[in-house]
Amino acid sequence: MAPKRPESAGAVPRSNGRPKVESPALISPESGPLYAALDLGTNSCRMLIARPDGAQFKVVDSFSKSVQLGQGLEQTGKLSRASIYRTIQALRVCQQKLKRNKVRRMRLVATEACRRASNGAAFMKKVERETGLRLDIIEPQEEAQLAVVSCAPLVSKKTEQLLVVDIGGGSTELVWIDLTNVRPRERASAIMRMHGGFPDARRSDGPSARVVDWISVPLGVATLRDQFNDVEDDAARFALMSWFFEENLAEFAPYKDEPPRAGFQIVGTSGTVTTVAASHLGLKRYDRNKVDGLRMTSDQIDKVIRDYLAMGPAGRRRDPRIGLDRQALIMSGAAILQALLRCWPTDRLSVADRGLREGMLYAQMAADGVLIEGQD
């Protein structure tokens, strides 16, 4: 598969791999312009409002809501009235936050559900009419690129081959990057620079991070679950989902069944990955500082998944580490995660609590020249 070239995207600079957060009450007009990034996915509507701070940004307000926009899409090919209503209600809250914070620079995007739905474009018009917000339906290329650059701070200096995986509600993006021509201490910053586009692996004009291949699989936690909703047995449904996803990776994963290789790293970003990490840590209350950047072994991930299966659907609904918003989707996400670890030569996964929103913020700030490179 030849490398695909996205149009534009972004990255997220971090201090020690984590964003700075401050209270909205501490922000004054003199503190600098505010930027916003909104990601409307198949399952969730999420937004960040931030301001530049040196080579990073500080989050001043945020929003996250499970809207299940893609509910029923697999069967009907359309966004339902109920999901549209839920989503517009959430977007009204976002619009109020943008107005209250007087945000002028923003990037608002929709992904797989709106790409696939026959009424996706009509829904975008309805959103603008009822909320005043204009959302762009972005292509898989840009979605993959945003995921890559947002995870750059988690890349190890020892990593020579990197796989970034973004498990969404309606699709899963995977990007394979070759870092062998980049000096170890410059590998994370080389990925940051991808906000201008994916370098072609066939280029040879100096040392750079190069995309060997990438793929967008139209199976995410919601769409994969919907494919196997008619299978009653919990364990059988999980096994079928994992096998089916692995089949869809057949042409993209040349290392299947090979032993772990030194210098190969997988970074995973999604609610599934962070939920599995929180379960592994036994967190009763989610703590981003403990989850983001955590490295888990495949044995640790398998143990969490076995625990989920032992709980059954009723037990997973009661487990506070999973949460009510995630319990219906966690097994399809776990099936994707387990399939990925079978197909690539590593027994470890780096957990990223970051994604499109962070990437979009960095892209806007970089374009405006308000980030000061080299500062922490």
Based on the domain organization, do 185 and 102 belong to the same domain? no
In a domain, 2, yes or no: no
Is residue 9 a part of any domain in this protein?
Answer: no
Cα torsion angle, 308, 314, 318, 320, sign: positive
- SS3 string, the chain, reads CCCCCCCCCCCCCCECCECEECCHHHCCHHHCCCEEEEEECCCEEEEEEEEEECCEEEEEEEEEEECCCCCCHHHHCCCCHHHHHHHHHHHHHHHHHHHHCCCCEEEEEECHHHHHCCCHHHHHHHHHHHHCCCCEECCHHHHHHHHHHHCHHHCCCCCCEEEEEEECCCCEEEEEEECCCCCHHHHHHHHHHHHHCCCECCCCCCCCCEEEEEEEECCCHHHHHHHCCCCCCHHHHHHHHHHHHHHHCCCCCCCCCCCCCCCEEEEEECHHHHHHHHHHHCCCCCCHHHHCCCEEEHHHHHHHHHHHHHHHHHHHHHCCCCCCCCCCCHHHHHHHHHHHHHHCCCCEEEEECCCHHHHHHHHHHHHHCCCCCCCC
Question: Which one of 89, 121, 139 terminates a domain?
Answer: 139
The range of the structural domain enclosing residue 215 comes to 142-352
H, E, C per residue of 197-247? CCCECCCCCCCCCEEEEEEEECCCHHHHHHHCCCCCCHHHHHHHHHHHHHH
- For residue 158, what pLDDT is reported? 92
**Looking at the domain assignment, is residue 90 inside a domain?**
yes
Predicted local distance difference test score (pLDDT) of residue 196: 66
Amino acid at the residue 258: E
Which of 105, 139, 173 terminates a domain? The answer is 139
Same domain, 201 and 113: no
Pair (210, 135) in one structural domain:
no
In a domain, 362, yes or no: no
Single-letter amino acid code for the residue at 115: R
Query: Do 131 and 172 reside in the same domain of the chain?
Result: no
Indicate the Cα dihedral angle 197, 193, 12, 159, nearest 10°.
110
- Rounded distance, CA 215 to CA 131, Å? 33
- Whether residue 257 sits in one domain with residue 191: yes
**Residue 27 located in a structural domain:** yes
Do 93 and 112 have their domain in common? Answer: yes
Q: Is residue 12 part of a domain?
A: no
Residues 6+ apart with CB under 8 A from 141: 4, 5, 6, 7, 198, 214, 216
Residue 34 lies inside a defined structural domain of this protein: yes
**Last residue of a domain, which of 122, 139, 156?**
139
In this prediction, residue 13 carries a pLDDT of 35
The answer to whether residues 124 and 50 belong to one domain is: yes
pLDDT of 78: 96
Ranges of the chain with pLDDT below 70: 1-31, 195-196, 199-207, 256-257, 373-376
CATH of the domain at 97: 3.30.420.40
Count of structural domains within the chain: 2
Task: Tell me the CATH number at 324.
Answer: 3.30.420.150
Are 185 and 303 contained in the same domain? yes
Same domain membership, residue 292 and residue 311: yes
Are residues 248 and 307 part of one domain? yes
Residues 154 and 42 in one domain: no
- Position 374 in a domain: no
Do 192 and 256 lie in one domain? The reply is: yes
The pLDDT of residue 199 is 64
